[in-house]
Chain A
């Protein structure tokens, strides 16, 4: 019976993420539109878009191989699993033993690899351009992400997200310089990974400036819906990662009582909405940066994360 409950709670998390991700993206778009003095699309527009794409014919290039057809499902599956592993409203769920920060990084890397392969598969110039830029960004962001994992692990003594969140939620860890640096690094990596301004512009129509969009230019129909859903999930994944590592408060860490779970769910959704409002505010104040400045920007995430790790070695107090 306990097993069934655990499984149910884990399923709630997994389905919740898929269900709520388009809404979170809808909120970021709405807020951005309001900041730009536009009315903006309805909050539920991303759901309508996914529905529309699911029911449209998927046009596939003549020379596309199986890689191109399978990649969208692979990207979605890997991202979904990764998102499902990050503790959201409760710690110690059924799959939490596998909820390793490094595993999450690896799953996202797998999704990226599949998408980059698919982008180059049909041989268009934009696919190659997008894939090469994406790989450049990844080569900078992934090391930074691993260092963030180490910085956090040095404090918590484990890379298991559930355990880290449970520890941090107690408040015993307190404010630490190294955690602040890790947060800064994670935000930068999150911006880069989710193709947000100033790295990429998710709403641009300019093919030559695209990164993520350039890779998926040829996709349509259900394939596109899969990739879009995966990118929504990825945004929520990073939101919940920031949430569980740096603001783990409200999560159901102890017994899975109904009130604790309800509070956990409510605070999780509140956190997502808060991040979804903050992100476009930050985005509106800056222009997209030059491609050749990416290393400096994402490199600063690496430097911050490295500093966080070093500080932990220098003194346990940081």
Chain B
């Protein structure tokens, strides 16, 4: 009966006001037991976040509908999940920084998002006076051994990329340990989406990370719709699908090129850069914005696809895909680049499962999960599409997942455009009469992106939390680089392509 420990615990607990998943309010003891079950691999952790007075975690058993477990914070404390389940450590540290709640028994209570430069401590909780620290004053995990040396990299890098600090401990060229320190692009998204009109919250969620703006808006819109009990019109759902796949195409093109460029094989980037640009220009022509920002709104979409635009999209795909196939052949037929990608940055399959790693990171390490299929939502419900899964777990596998998804996305776009229903593209969004909650997951190009939202009466967002896929991929990068050489880190890092902005909130 061990497998059903969590179900047994939750059987008597009434489900709360969340839609569409059940939310169970439990006491600290049950919360801790469920955390222990997570650690034993009985469930996977989808998200862990806080709000004043409460901590929530979204968990899922493979093949079942996920649920949210909430516990009240008593005396500013809640049972640590990270104690049992390492993927929860960083979210917990973030909760501690933002709300000031102590995770009891947590293995790691170093600040995560708060680098000591905020003007107040625990800004979403007690909001006490700031405890200013030197941002550089941060205790890295100890590494013991002979002939080891440290290489600090960042947060300011030689290239124009987002900021993050990486501390390598190496023995010559071989990496013994990598520790990440993130949080440099904290924008206060949780605070900025607290008690604001829905439209304002939608804009802010859309700006969490520019490359995933469609997926974030999509998830936010669906969460709001779920809370209000409405659905977007079928045509709006199909258009959302086209946008989400276009975003995936643009980013995957960019990633395939950028990964090869990190091995100084710039010819792939040169061509993939053009492919990405073509998609962005297409998006601008069809939807009026290169990244399609703010085009998905609660209730539907803000931009329609005309018959002319649909033909334009198909024509662009017809031109790009054969050209991309040639680049794929070039990648496959060049031994020097294959030598760099194959076997580099291996991520073990059990770690991918343990951290519930989504997106190409998980699927390259045999974790067969795609939110579009496994937590199906319109317009993907009932549609068959390829979800490429590889078992090698190396940089090459992560490239191949992306190559496979590019083909699958193009097929999906064609299918969506071919069966585009007629009708309105925006449903009226009623004002909530009473507080209500909604949650939704969409498949961004990085993996599953979760949005939880609580609406207050009168068309306002009371609280909102966005969890980017990167939260559970960043820690895996630390594992994947171990035993590799320092010079291969950029390649591994780019093959993960985790978000800084999306993670730092």
Contacts and interface: CB of A to CB of B under 8 A. Distances in A.
Contacts of B271: 37
Contacts of B172: 132
B270 A290 contact: no
Nearest to A32: B266
B157 A207 contact: yes
A287 B337 contact: yes
Contacts of B490: 206, 208-209
B307 to A, nearest CB: 33
B152 A125 contact: yes
Interface stretch (B256-264, B370-378, B461-469): B256-264
A206 B159 CA distance: 7
Contact of B264 (A132, A208, A287): A287
A205 interface: yes
Interface in B435-493: 485-490
Contacts of A290: 339-340, 485, 487-488
A8 B77 CA distance: 85
Contacts of A286: 265, 334, 336-337
Interface string A268-312: 000000000000000011111111110000000000000000000
Nearest to B175: A208
A286 B339 CA distance: 11
Nearest to A209: B487
Interface string A202-214: 0011111100000
Contacts of A217: 158
B184 to A, nearest CB: 17
A5 to B, nearest CB: 47
B255 to A, nearest CB: 16
A289 B486 contact: no
Contact of B270 (A36, A197, A288): A36
B480 to A, nearest CB: 15
B435 to A, nearest CB: 49
A38 B270 contact: yes
Contacts of B157: 205, 207
A293 B343 CA distance: 14
A125 B150 contact: yes
B338 to A, nearest CB: 9
B274 interface: yes
Contacts of B337: 286-287
Interface hub of A198, A217, A288, A292 (most chain B Cβ within 10 A): A288
A291 B485 contact: yes
B323 interface: no
Nearest to B337: A287
Contact of A287 (B150, B168, B260): B260
A32 B263 CA distance: 16
Nearest to B491: A209
Contacts of B334: 285-287
B340 A289 contact: yes
Nearest to A206: B490
Nearest to B344: A290
A47 to B, nearest CB: 24
Contacts of A129: 151, 486
Nearest to A284: B267
A170 B340 CA distance: 45
A286 B266 CA distance: 9
A35 interface: yes
Nearest to A136: B173
A231 interface: no
A208 B150 contact: no
Contact of B487 (A125, A205, A208): A208
B264 A288 contact: yes
Given A207-B158, A287-B336, A291-B487, A36 B173 contact: no
B8 interface: no
B486 A205 contact: no
A194 interface: no
Interface in B236-288: 260, 262-267, 269-271, 274
A240 interface: no
Contact of A198 (B264, B266, B488): B264
B74 interface: no
A214 to B, nearest CB: 10
A132 B173 CA distance: 10
A32 B334 CA distance: 18
Contacts of B150: 125
Greatest chain B CB density within 10 A among A38, A197, A204, A287 is at A287
A205 B159 contact: yes
Given A36-B267, A201-B264, A289 B336 contact: yes
Contacts of A285: 267, 334
B340 A287 contact: yes
Nearest to B340: A287
Nearest to B268: A287
A291 B173 contact: yes
Interface in A49-91: none
Given A289-B336, A290-B485, A204 B173 contact: no
A284 B330 CA distance: 12
B273 to A, nearest CB: 9
B153 interface: yes
Given A37-B270, A208-B490, A125 B264 contact: no
A31 to B, nearest CB: 13
Contacts of A292: 173, 485
B270 A209 contact: no
Contacts of B265: 286-288
A167 B270 CA distance: 45
B485 A288 contact: no
A205 B266 contact: no
Contacts of A201: 264
Nearest to B331: A287
Contacts of A206: 158-159, 262, 490
A37 B274 CA distance: 9
B262 A209 contact: yes
Contacts of A287: 260, 263-265, 334, 336-337, 339-340
Interface in A125-165: 125-126, 128-129, 132
B168 to A, nearest CB: 8
8 contacts: A32-B266, A37-B271, A197-B264, A198-B336, A206-B262, A208-B151, A290-B485, A292-B485
Given A37-B274, A287-B340, 13 more contacts: A36-B266, A38-B270, A198-B264, A205-B160, A208-B490, A209-B264, A209-B487, A284-B267, A285-B334, A287-B334, A289-B339, A291-B487, A292-B173
Interface of B: 149-153, 157-160, 168, 172-173, 260, 262-267, 269-271, 274, 334, 336-337, 339-340, 485-490
Among all A-B residue pairs, the 5 with the closest Cβ atoms: A205-B159, A288-B264, A287-B265, A287-B337, A36-B270
